[in-house]
Structure 1
């Protein structure tokens, strides 16, 4: 996958616009998630996990079980 730094920066800026606050603290040595950024990441990861479980039957037709 090839994604430019500019494309990533634009997506981060758009997300920060949606949340109305910074998601990262920017430092000379890099970036760190803000408390809001940590919460947003947690929510997005949880959503992605739920979506993956729901779409599993679409790509796998063998036996399945659900673990909650």
Structure 2
């Protein structure tokens, strides 16, 4: 009984969290300021500073550290 209630609540939350985008709203969502990183240069510089301070490179997709032993 308890698991059914949890499953029903989870289903309600998942269904209420999803919504469709109307055609007139797509223009707003397509603007450059709505992207994860609207300023490409700033994003590149932030990544450079982060990896310089972490003493590693390619931390988002590559394995290994900054020791140079890989």
TM-score of the aligned structures, taking structure 1 as reference length: 0.30
Larger strand proportion of the pair: 1
- Answer 1 or 2: higher relative contact order, Cα 8 Å, separation at least 6: 1
TM-score of the aligned structures, taking structure 2 as reference length: 0.30
Which one has a bigger Cα radius of gyration? 2
